[in-house]
Amino acid sequence: MGTISFSELSRAFITLFAIIDITGSIPLILSLKSKGIDINPIKTTCVALGIMIMFLLLGERIMHLFNVDIQSFAVAGSFVLFIMALEMILDVEIFKNNGPKNVGA
């Protein structure tokens, strides 16, 4: 396992900070609050931190387990971001989520 330099860590932090888009999440958080859903910020932060640390330590092994190199993962991620951008710009739903189906009488 290689060492992580400060410049790599800061570059990853800035990238994640830009992708997460805190200000863009405000309407989502407000809509959840208006529906009465309680959001515990400490718990949410701890879960997010745990996931980030897990992928920091185990991410390379997980990628190796599925035989995926980082370049292929980056290309696949760029396709996903491109499709999401098209959905936002064109105001269409390429992948529809109709929610859970209610089965029963």
Query: Tens digits of per-residue pLDDT, 50-74?
Result: 998 998 899 889 999 999 998 999 9
The arithmetic mean of pLDDT across residues 73-77, rounded, is 91
Q: Which residues contact 60 (CB under 8 A, 6 or more apart)?
A: 1
Note the pLDDT of residue 104.
57
Name the residue among 16, 78, 9 with its Cα closest to residue 70. Answer: 78
Tell me the residue type at 67. Answer: N
Domain ranges across the chain = 67-96
Report the predicted TM-score, pTM, of the whole model to 2 decimal places: 0.52
Query: Tens digits of per-residue pLDDT, 9-55?
Result: 888 888 878 777 777 788 888 888 888 888 888 998 899 889 989 98
Q: Is the pLDDT at 103 greater than 70, yes or no?
A: no
Q: Which residues contact 23 (CB under 8 A, 6 or more apart)?
A: none
Between 105 and 49, residue with greater pLDDT: 49
Query: Tens digits of per-residue pLDDT, 90-102?
Result: 888 877 766 666 6
The radius of gyration of the chain's CA atoms, rounded to the nearest angstrom, is: 18
Measured distance CA(60)–CA(63) in Å, rounded: 5
Eight-state DSSP code of residue 25? G
